Amino acid sequence: MPRGPRLDAPGTLHHVIIRGIERGSIVRDDTDRKTFLDRMGLQARGSGTSIYAFALMTNHAHILLKSGPAGISTFMRRLLTGYAQYFNRRHTRVGHLFQNRYKSIICEEEAYFDKLVAYIHLNPLRAGLVESFEELARYPWCGHAVLLNRVRYDWMDRDYVLLFFGQKEGPARKAYLQFLEEELGVDREKELSGGGFVRSQGGWSKVQSMRRRGEKALGDERILGGDEFVKEVLKEAEERRDVLLPEHERLHLLDDDIERACRDAGVTPVFLRSGSKAGKLPSLRKELARKALLEYGMSLAETVRQLGVTANAVSYMLKPQ
């Protein structure tokens, strides 16, 4: 069956699963592990991607992230291509390192965020890479240790995660740990990273219940969420595809927007692209960047060229405050 296109709207919550080709290792030692995470952090900061949970295993990895202004594709391509080149050089090998393309599952945040965090962070314990919660709390290749403040990665948004469990850090960490212990006894493999309709509806028990009531629902293997969420995501993706103009027309629209915005602000387009942070220029660039990326569907690279700023600057402009 042909693979469907990615659902890649900016600001979407994804559960990403990366696997080594033919179940081969993607890391061989701690140097590889540190390099992978350093590269992931660098790309996350540069693209405005928010990382909420991760587990780096031997032959695969799980990441829970919210895509930045340019969507998930650029972030993942740079991460995996750069790391594969490093790995092949270091270990004197050739060929592909990762299995096909990565799997990305769009997730309904309100219903599944806490379950996904727990599922991902329990991976090293379930796989036997650590033998206890005490060891997991010190394990540096998983986001669990970051949430407990035992390991520091400034590119992981631990505050956002802990807010799902409480308003103050101490009680939030306690509630998170209690939830993790409860989730250790629950098998969510098929529900959260399996395939097709069952996952889209939140598990086999819900599907059976719907069938007993004679209800039909929409499922999609790329989406984790209820029927209405699946419909909403697919509808938005279809609308984005329908309204996407040819590139030269999008550039023409953005040029008009730049001319109009500069005229209203009393500055020239040359001054806008000069890199100056004087007066209204930062807010002006932010408004234009948002329009270029989110309304016109332009690439991050083209947006950067049109506004005369760096990719990091554009990503920072559009990062949720």
pLDDT at 152: 95
Greater confidence (53 vs 195) lies with: 53
> Among 62-71, 173-182, 235-244, which stretch is predicted with the lowest mean pLDDT?
235-244
pLDDT at 320: 59
pLDDT at 205: 52
pLDDT at 200: 46
For the chain, the first-to-last Cα distance in angstroms comes to: 41
Return the top range by mean pLDDT from 41-50, 68-77, 187-196, 295-304: 41-50
Average pLDDT over residues 79-103: 92
Average pLDDT over residues 263-273: 89
Q: How far apart are CA 104 and CA 8, in angstroms?
A: 9
Give the rounded percent of residues in the chain with a pLDDT score beyond 70. Answer: 77
Q: 125 and 136 in contact (C-beta within 8 Å)?
A: yes
Q: How far apart are CA 47 and CA 65, in angstroms?
A: 12
Query: For residue 174, what are the CA distances in angstroms to 6, 147, 148, 161, 286?
Result: 37, 11, 10, 13, 39
pLDDT at 317: 79
- Across the beta sheet with 13-19, what order do the strands follow? 50-56, 60-66, 13-19, 103-107, 223-224
Contacts of 154 (CB under 8 A, 6+ apart): 41
Per-residue pLDDT of 173-223, as tens digits, reads 999 999 999 999 888 777 776 544 444 445 545 545 544 555 444 444 566
Fold of 13-192: Alpha-Beta Plaits (3.30.70)
**What does the mean pLDDT of the chain come to?**
82
Average pLDDT over residues 79-91: 95
Q: pLDDT confidence of 58, banded at 50, 70, 90? A: very high
pTM surpassing 0.85?
A: no
Domain ranges of the chain: 13-192, 195-243, 247-318
Greater confidence (5 vs 50) lies with: 50
Q: pLDDT confidence of 230, banded at 50, 70, 90? A: low
